[in-house]
A and B are shown apart, each in its own frame.
Chain A
Amino acid sequence: MKGLNISVLVKPVPDPGCYESIQIDPQTGILVREGLPNILNPADKHALEAALQLVEQHSGRVVMVSMAPPNALETVKEGLAMGADEAWLLSDRAFAGADTLATSRVLAAGIKKLGLCDLVLAGSESADGGTAHVPSQVGEILGISHLTNVTWLNIDTDANVRARMKMENGYIEVEGALPMVIGVSRGMNVPRYTSLPGILAAQDKPVKVLGLNNLGLDPGSVGLAGSPTQPGKLSRPELKRQGERLEGEPAELAKRIVAIMRSSGVLS
């Protein structure tokens, strides 16, 4: 194996630190994005860290691939500063309104366009939507295996893959061979900080913007037109909480809680 060519799928998301105060336009049912800063999806940094470590071990190249509007460039640069070699921004008006399937078609087309790619890494979820589909979908579209929720990964010089996938009550250990798409769990590593030399170096790294025509995609397969599901309006969850404060001596409080839980059927 002569070095690893790795694509890392990244997504700019509204900063999770701001979700407490997000606003939904009551008319349109769409998120008000004004004043909501975008950051690199936190889980994706773990995927990028995994890629950088693999390339340190095997040599090779790390290219970030993102489907996002052109203004996502600044966000994606953080990944270049961490150490990615190049970034591809898949950007086209036709991509707007995509569900995750239509998104994965674009990402898969980007990876194909990159040419020889041994490994695709992605974060195991996105902070905004909480979706976890992308590794499975991209794997299926590319016709290669995928693994999700991977907490430990080893690739040997013969391109054999050993990995641990996290399950509810432990792990399963799997073996396979490259090429593969792998969803990286946060447990795998701690992403490196960006350094000043890294930030400076990022300025000179290549960033490509590719649209529908560059990717050779059928307009009917992308964006809203290519999406089997359609997002409806957003709403605020109704919190029908009792909101009752209980005060008093610990022994008294304990008795009252038990009584309340019994009368409400929570405890029998």
Chain B
Amino acid sequence: MAKGIWVFVEQSQGKIRKVSLELLSQAKILANEKGEELAAVILGQGIGSLAGEAAQYGADKVYLADDAKLAAYTTGAYTSVLAKLIRENEPNLVLFGNTAIGKDLAPRVATRAGVDVAIDCVGIESDAANFVNLTRPIYAGKAFAKVASPSARPIMATVRPNIFPLAEPAAREANVVTVPVSVDEADLRAILKDVISQAAGRVELTEANIIVSGGRGMKGPENYVMLEDLADVLGAAVGASRAAVDSGWKEHKFQVGQTGKTVSPTLYIACGISGAIQHLAGMGSSKVIVAINKDPEANIFAVADYGIVGDLFQVVPVLTEECKKLMA
């Protein structure tokens, strides 16, 4: 009999990713409703101190796999540990953040467990018959598909960051279970050689609460300074549309959209972005969208909560000034 709800807690250099805490927060609500235990699964090296944080966000139990072979992410070693743990404990539901690692790892673990995984979910709905029903966007976000797994367990999903709110951390303790790690050579056929970080000092796009994004209307790479100024005041990330990236104004890692990153911040400020469907697919689940565009017919206004028909070169600098006053 399957039991329990699990969250794969992704950590990088000893810090838990925000999406993992969001998942613990939401899974706790589900676990309470279902009368199930919530477990966090943490893999890495020297990660013992993270168990407490997982408990604060709702984990009743923390599986800790702490080993030098898990210091850096490799698909083989992580799959081996996780799949074994699932086989031995038979959880009902295993959730991953829809991150580069989550998308790489979850399908491999699921296949080893004989189940499928729903990728990039934006909804987890409790269901009496199916345990949960999952919702994922398809056709560039123009449709939602429901996914159910009537009998196969565990149900597995990766969940889009910034969809579920963070719980207030509470003073709680979890039952910490040390997971014995045995990784054989066959699991290490592809090994990690190097990590090349390109962190720009600003918050990462997919984790940002606020994103200031620019498109073709920015007219050139030099004008992004204006968006960076606004972003600095707001503690925001800077994004770009495909048009801006294709023009060589911004690197691909800043691209928001179907062929770039999928984001869902609390606030998305679209500057000079026309709103092609592929862009909307990448930011349509933002909570509040503000669009600034000269063209009153621009597509972006159809999805914007607040649409400003105007010249971004005039509006953005004064907006930055207003925000500075607010933050001062």
> Which A residues fall within an 8 A CB radius of B?
14, 16, 19-20, 22, 24, 31, 42-43, 99-102, 104, 127-134, 136-137, 139-141, 144-149, 161-162, 164-177, 180, 186-187, 227-237, 239, 241-247, 250-251, 253-255, 257-258, 260-262, 264, 266-267
Q: Is the CB of A261 within 8 A of B142?
A: no
Q: Is the contact region of chain A dominated by helix, strand, or loop, or is it mixed? A: mixed
Tell me the complex Cα distance, A241–B284, Å. 10
Q: Is the CB of B119 within 8 A of A266?
A: no
Q: Is the CB of A245 within 8 A of B143?
A: no
Q: Within 8 Å CB of A16, what residues of B?
A: 140, 258, 277-278
Q: Is the CB of B306 within 8 A of A242?
A: yes
Tell me the complex Cα distance, A100–B117, Å. 8
Q: Within 8 Å CB of B152, what residues of A?
A: 228-229
Q: Within 8 Å CB of A141, what residues of B?
A: 111
Q: Within 8 Å CB of B259, what residues of A?
A: 42-43, 186
Q: Within 8 Å CB of A242, what residues of B?
A: 304-306
Q: Is the CB of A19 within 8 A of B277?
A: yes
Closest B residue to A261 by CB, please name it.
Answer: B267
The segment out of B43-51, B53-61, B186-194 that lies at the interface is B186-194
Q: B143-155 CB contact bits vs A (8 Å, 1 = yes)?
A: 1111111111001
Known: A22-B142, A243-B307. A174 touches B104 (CB 8 A): no
Q: Within 8 Å CB of B328, what residues of A?
A: none
Residues 131-147 of B at the A interface (beta carbon under 8 Å): 133, 136-147
Among candidates A129, A167, A187, residue contacting B101 with C-beta atoms closer than 8 Å = A167
Tell me the complex Cα distance, A181–B274, Å. 37
Q: Within 8 Å CB of B101, what residues of A?
A: 167
Q: Within 8 Å CB of B307, what residues of A?
A: 243-246
Q: Is the CB of B145 within 8 A of A100?
A: no
Q: Is the contact region of chain B dominated by helix, strand, or loop, or is it mixed? A: mixed
Q: A258 CB to closest chain B CB, in angstroms?
A: 5
Tell me the complex Cα distance, A214–B195, Å. 44
> Which B residues fall within an 8 A CB radius of A?
72-76, 79, 99-101, 103-108, 110-112, 114-120, 133, 136-152, 155, 189-199, 204-207, 210, 234, 252-253, 258-259, 261, 266-267, 277-278, 281, 284, 287-290, 301-311, 314-315, 318-319, 321-323, 326
Known: A230-B147, A241-B304. A19 touches B142 (CB 8 A): yes
Q: What are the 10 closest A-B residue pairs judged by CB atoms, nearest first? A: A232-B146, A228-B152, A176-B190, A136-B107, A242-B305, A133-B107, A140-B111, A101-B116, A170-B198, A173-B194
Q: A244 CB to closest chain B CB, in angstroms?
A: 5
Q: Within 8 Å CB of B193, what residues of A?
A: 162, 173-175
Q: Is the CB of A167 within 8 A of B108?
A: no
Q: Within 8 Å CB of B111, what residues of A?
A: 101, 104, 136-137, 140-141
Q: B283 CB to closest chain A CB, in angstroms?
A: 12
Q: Is the CB of B306 within 8 A of A260?
A: yes
Tell me the complex Cα distance, A187–B309, Å. 34
Q: List 29 A-B contacts (CB under 8 A).
A: A16-B258, A22-B142, A31-B143, A43-B259, A100-B117, A101-B111, A128-B138, A130-B258, A136-B106, A140-B108, A140-B111, A146-B190, A147-B190, A168-B206, A168-B207, A172-B192, A228-B115, A229-B155, A234-B146, A241-B303, A242-B304, A244-B307, A246-B307, A247-B310, A250-B310, A250-B311, A251-B318, A254-B318, A262-B326
